[in-house]
Amino acid sequence: MKKTHLHQAHLDAGAKMVDFGGWDMPINYGSQIEEHHAVRQDKGMFDVSHMTIVDLVGPESEKFLLKILANDVRKLGDGKALYSTMLNESGGIIDDLITYKRADNNYRIVVNAGTREKDLAWFEKQINAFDASITERPKVAMLAVQGPHAIEACLEVLPSDISKKLASLKKFSCLDETDYFIGRTGYTGEDGVEILVPQELVIELWNKLLQADVKPCGLGARDTLRLEAGMHLYGQDMNEEITPLECGLGWTVRKEDFNFIGADALSTQRDKGITKKMIGVVLGERGILRHNQELVDENGLTGIITSGSFSPSAQVAIGMAIVDKNMGENVKVKIRKKELNVKCIKLPFVRNGKVLI
Amino acid sequence: MSYVPDNFKYVESHEWIEVLDNGNVRIGITEHAQNALGDIVFVELPEEDTYAIGDECGVVESVKTASDIYTPLTGTVVAVNDALEDAPELINENPYDDGWIFEMSIDDANELKDLMTAEEYRNSIEDEE
């Protein structure tokens, strides 16, 4: 199994490891719930070095991104980050990713670990028509430090010249310095940063953050945090059979120059009428919502839970669901032999430490 | 290595069985099982009904996943641990005591002989730990 540079550090911190897409990664370091609360209320860190980092350069880099991404990279100033889906010809989602603009025609892209091979193959296939080149950065480690007090801790432990600049870094922006690439981005619904450093530097950074009381958090807490924040997980809340218009990601699809790969399929879908939508559901009774449980309303309209779990912040079961566009108010979920009531809400469930349901 | 009390019996599906003074049995899940599940947030307790060996009778759910509970013996469920409804984490904190799940009156005491001893159970989980 593949290991990140921090593998031994995880074991030293008491991690329980699991196979995550071929990577031996920490699921928790004891209690997933405590880790979850640490990020909501204070600060925690996640090793996300398994994610795939690629750099894109060359005079037609922007053109290439306009072709393969549904969002509009032209919106980006230097040092800004953009969330987007990447679609196939049918409008299905190949992956969701973050693109950081470093300078004109110079981008850094972070894609999911589980989709690395197909993403890289897709990049290779599409980039031939452009004067641009893609290079993977397997030796760059990535730490997500998240929570209301995460940035304070980073300011304390990073080299002083980096700290000075980080102090004024705006949300969804990145700092691009030698050895330190820091995005004020994340996947938890809290403030925080994602720090990319050469892997030789990551163990020392991890240890300093530990000393600054940043709690190591596993992939378990990462999942409940992103679910509460209403953030999609590739493979569960979206896949190649679903378009962004059907799963609550219409806001990431650009309106002008509708000529990216998959655009025609989205136009056709819009003309015919979108039949599905993404909602949040909250279980009104005791039990836990899970991926693939079925929903049905009073008129027999149906839906499916794409991600579900117990919400440590709200202390109830929550889920994201793709449902019929006309789904009514009285919705039930099938859990084993029972049908239980759920409340339908607009995502997210929690943002910046506040429970919204 | 997870704690495995010597005086209990065990089954492969990670339930423990304690024979009570009145001949009934008390059942829960082992420390190894709760540790594998992680933070437990919901328990669907068995109905007070009759069951055969290996019947699904309830569910323990952690944040991460759901795991069925099976009846290790033939008999009738006569009591359930209602405290778990409001405090499912008792299974994490004290799986062999406050975290018990249900009690059965058993039809055939001979079935007890087929259960694993503590040592056999320890050996069976050794590879997983």
Quick one: tokens of B100? 């018990």
DSSP string, B70-94: E-SSSEEEEEE-THHHH-TTHHHH-
Do residues A143 and A37 share a domain?
yes
The pLDDT tens digits for A71-92 are 999 999 999 999 999 999 999 9
The pLDDT tens digits for A242-258 are 999 999 999 999 999 99
Q: Do A33 and B39 touch (CB under 8 A)?
A: yes
Q: Do B63 and A312 touch (CB under 8 A)?
A: yes
pLDDT at res. A337: 86
Taking alpha carbons only, the member of A215, A137, A116 closest to residue A179 is A137
Domain residues for the domain of A300 are 275-355
The secondary structure of residue A76, as a DSSP letter, is P
Neighbours of A254 (CB within 10 A): 18
Confirm whether A201 is domain-assigned: yes
The pLDDT tens digits for A286-308 are 999 999 999 999 999 999 999 99
Confirm whether A76 is domain-assigned: no
Whether residue A236 is predicted with pLDDT greater than 80 in this model: the reply is yes
Residue of B nearest to A291 (CA): B65
Residue of A nearest to B129 (CA): A16
ipTM entry: 0.87
Cα angle at B81 between B120 and B69, to 5 degrees? 45
The residues facing A2 across adjacent strands are A23
Confirm whether A249 is domain-assigned: no
Confirm whether A101 is domain-assigned: no
CA distance A321 to chain B (A): 18
Q: Do B66 and A290 touch (CB under 8 A)?
A: yes
- pLDDT 10s digit of each residue in chain B, 129 long? 799 999 999 999 999 999 999 999 999 999 999 999 999 999 999 999 999 999 999 999 999 999 999 999 999 999 999 999 999 999 999 999 999 999 999 999 999 999 999 999 999 999 877
What CATH number does the domain containing A172 carry? 3.30.1360.120
Which residues in chain A are closer than 8 Å to B85, comparing Cβ atoms? 286
Q: Do B42 and A317 touch (CB under 8 A)?
A: yes
Which residues in chain B are closer than 8 Å to A309, comparing Cβ atoms? 63
* Distance (Å, whole) CA A53 – CA B23: 62
Do residues A45 and A142 share a domain?
yes
User: Helices then strands (H, E): number in chain B?
Assistant: 4, 9
Do residues A189 and A299 share a domain?
no
* Distance (Å, whole) CA A188 – CA A43: 11
What CATH number does the domain containing A312 carry? 2.40.30.110
User: Helices then strands (H, E): number in chain A?
Assistant: 9, 21
As a whole number of Å, the end-to-end CA separation of chain A is 40
Taking alpha carbons only, the member of B89, B91, B55, B69 closest to residue A33 is B89
Nearest-10 Cα torsion for A92, A97, A100, A106: -60
Contact (CB, 8 A) for A91 and A258? no
pLDDT at res. B1: 79
* pTM for this predicted structure: 0.95
Structural domains of chain B, with CATH: 9-111 (2.40.50.100)
